[in-house]
Chain A
Amino acid sequence: MKKVLCLVLTAMLLLAASAASAATQLEMLCWMSEQQEGIDAMVDAFNASQKDIEVTVSYMSKSAYFEKLNIGLPAGSAPDIIALNVPSDIDYSKRGFLLDISDLFESGAIDLSRYPEHTIAAHTIDGVLHGVPRDYDSIAVYYNKAIFDAAGEPYPTGDWTWDEFVEVAKRITRADEGIYGTCIASYPNSVVYDMVYSNGGMAFDENGQCVLNSDEAKDALKKLSDVILVEHASPTIEEQAEMSSGNRFLNGMAGMLFNGSWSMASYAEALGDDLGVCALPAMGEKPASISHSLIWAIPACSQNIDAAKTFLTYLASYESQAMTAATVIPAYEGTDALWVENYAQYGAKVFTDMVSEGYAVSLPYSMKASEETYSMIKSGFADVLATGDVSLLDALTEAVNAKIAE
């Protein structure tokens, strides 16, 4: 019994001791643990540069991170600096959980002209931007040179139509060995939306209504599902449920893969010299690449608003964003070139070109029930790709609009 009491007392003392410090303590939470080195470097540099504010950063898995925020923000308890993606910033912004930082923009402390247009537009909700863009991404085709070599096929160079893409995929497929030319997954942002938009369709119209039942969308989905069900150049949805498209590519079982710039680092590590990148095929007149971005934001319930704003200004700067260029494309003007440099040998410039040449489309989300409708849409795409039945899109569109109307 005594031993226990001693242990408890010691524990409490330890806790108390570690809490005492003169500087303002800021807490930062994010989920991107692959970027840990870069983010830690940013934080350390900030802490070293001044004595009034001390920032500690913690990482959690993505689902745990959002769970925590979903629980804590409505209760009024959250870290001082958080990272947000598109559905979450819409959600939190509408519910009033984010701090209004327009004073930082107006005073010029943060110069919004330094960030890509679409990153700012994507996070401006009801006319207000609640955070600072930290990175952006885009979609392109990763390919495995070894698989192309085995089929005697020249490497793709981009600037191609959908039909050309499908032909190439068929030629490099060796289904009996489990190697497919490509892997058509149901992910809206890296596969389906890109083709829908390229084909002239849209996910949501200007009124926020889902329009995935348009002819262009149906046509796009039909072409996508044909690759799986008719041309047999891609594993089925069932097969992908067991082993995801990403893992297949990592294991050298997929010749080409539509995926985002975020995978660059891990694919480069896994495939080394066999990795190549080229632009997405155009299903319609020109290719389209969904571009998503993250922001740093401050919860309104933060206890240290001034300190947080100071830190946020630092996070918005060239210096700090450059430090994460090893694993993501940072948003600040000029930092993306640093990322490209890191992966130039694979052709990484394609990713930034998609944005700079105007093919980027901001990740479409519904302004209401964004998390839920995204989930419904992804599942809906999976149903279509598994069965080839594009009329399912009618039901999906109805259901999504019903959810939005709630």
Chain B
Amino acid sequence: MKNKTERFSPRLLLSYAVLILGAVFMLLPFFWMVLTSLKTRPEAVKVPIQWLPASPQWENYKLIFTRYKFSRYYLNTAIVTVCEVSFQLLTCAMAAYVFARLDFPGKSFLFFLCMTVLMVPAQMLLIPRFIITMKMNLLDSLAGIIIPNLPSIYGCFFLRQHFASLPRELDESARLDGCGYFRTFFSILLPLVRNGMVAFGVLTTLWAWNDMLWPMVVVQRQRNYVLSIAISALQGQYSSNTPLLMTAGTLSMLPMLVVFIIGQRSLLSGIALSGIKG
């Protein structure tokens, strides 16, 4: 079989074809969402489907910020996300290190207990968390959204796997050099799980940005809304302004897209270090 260059092997072409097909599948809803945000209301619900708007209505993008005051919600969501993510990055990495490397009485029990928390459906916890937050006088505030969401067992578990996969010799040589546990964690091991930290950072940013269940329960006044609540509030009782909804959806997605693109490059350029010479 004639192979001009490696590049054009049938196997590679097949891979590309599959990847492209998959990409179309992934992108289809977004095309629809973005295109619909530019349609008029009748065009959006028209049947049979009209893919492209007759003429793009950029109105909605302006309205979102002027009439519907989304800039406030952007700010709120950004504050919530930044606070949650930064706290989680540090504390989860520490806890992950502890569970992966250190030994202490009650370790398995504690780990198991924390894992159980992951298994509980969020709806079950909603009311008790609400009451606790109420008793702490944190209702209807951004702090009320942030504080109960600060502990992340998901993060611990995720980073634990990364720490666990580092060779133990690193710890030992650090110990021989006279490093205490925190130093070992901070200076030696943490840099090695950088990719994991970035991945976790990106994931938790996305999660915090899109979260609706908890903020919806805590927040009451419109000025404390985050994006997810504001978008759902755009749905009218009997009819929805579909293009407006799609506009809001598109706009709320864009910052996350940027976050991901930036984070993704960091992943790409990170090179694995084995840490052991020779």
Contacts and interface: CB of A to CB of B under 8 A. Distances in A.
Interface string B221-247: 111010001001111111100000000
Interface of B: 41-42, 45-47, 79, 82-83, 86-87, 90, 126-127, 130-131, 134, 139, 141-143, 216-217, 220-223, 225, 229, 232-239
Contacts of A7: 79, 82-83
A24 interface: no
A64 B142 contact: no
A75 B136 CA distance: 13
A27 B239 CA distance: 26
A72 interface: yes
B142 A58 contact: no
A75 B238 contact: no
8 contacts: A15-B142, A58-B225, A60-B229, A67-B216, A77-B134, A243-B47, A246-B239, A250-B239
Contacts of B47: 243, 251, 253
Interface in A31-85: 31-34, 56-62, 64, 67-68, 71-72, 75-77, 79
A29 interface: yes
A11 B236 CA distance: 31
Nearest to A3: B86
Contacts of A253: 47
B220 A58 contact: yes
A246 B236 CA distance: 14
From DSSP, what is the main secondary structure of chain B's interface residues?
Answer: helix
Contact of B238 (A18, A29, A266): A266
Nearest to B87: A4
A247 B45 contact: yes
A243 B237 CA distance: 17
A27 B220 contact: yes
Contacts of A251: 45-47
A90 B134 CA distance: 26
B233 A29 contact: no
Given A12-B143, A34-B239, A61-B232, A71 B217 contact: yes
Given A1-B86, A58-B222, 10 more contacts: A7-B79, A8-B83, A15-B142, A29-B220, A33-B233, A56-B222, A64-B216, A64-B233, A72-B217, A246-B239
A79 B42 CA distance: 36
Contacts of B220: 27, 29, 58, 68, 79
B83 A75 contact: no
A270 interface: yes
Contacts of A4: 82-83, 86-87
Nearest to B82: A7
B237 to A, nearest CB: 5
A114 to B, nearest CB: 25
Interface in A1-34: 1, 4, 7-8, 11-12, 15, 18, 27, 29, 31-34
Nearest to A248: B47
A11 B79 contact: yes
B83 A11 contact: yes
Nearest to B224: A15
Of A8, A56, A76, chain B has the most CB atoms within 10 Å of the CB of: A8
Contact of B139 (A61, A77, A266, A270): A77
B237 A34 contact: yes
Given A31-B237, A33-B234, A59-B222, A15 B143 contact: yes
B127 A32 contact: no
Nearest to B48: A178
Interface size class of A (residues with CB under 8 A): 35 or more
Contacts of A76: 134
A64 B130 contact: no
A230 B53 CA distance: 39
A251 B130 CA distance: 42
A71 B130 contact: yes
A250 B141 contact: no
A266 B269 CA distance: 53
Most buried by B among A11, A68, A72: A11
Contacts of B235: 33, 61
A157 interface: no
Interface in A81-138: none
A67 B239 contact: no
A27 B221 contact: yes
Interface in A230-283: 243, 246-247, 250-251, 253, 262-263, 266, 269-270
A75 B127 contact: yes
A351 to B, nearest CB: 15
Looking at A7, A27, A58, A246, which has the most chain B CB atoms within 10 Å of its CB? Answer: A58
Given A8-B83, A60-B229, A75 B239 contact: no
A390 to B, nearest CB: 29
B83 A18 contact: no
A8 to B, nearest CB: 6
B142 A11 contact: yes
A75 B129 CA distance: 11
A247 B236 CA distance: 14
B129 to A, nearest CB: 10
B221 A75 contact: no
A72 B82 contact: no
A69 to B, nearest CB: 11
A3 B233 CA distance: 33
A205 B100 CA distance: 66
Nearest to A25: B221
A247 B45 CA distance: 8
A59 B87 CA distance: 31
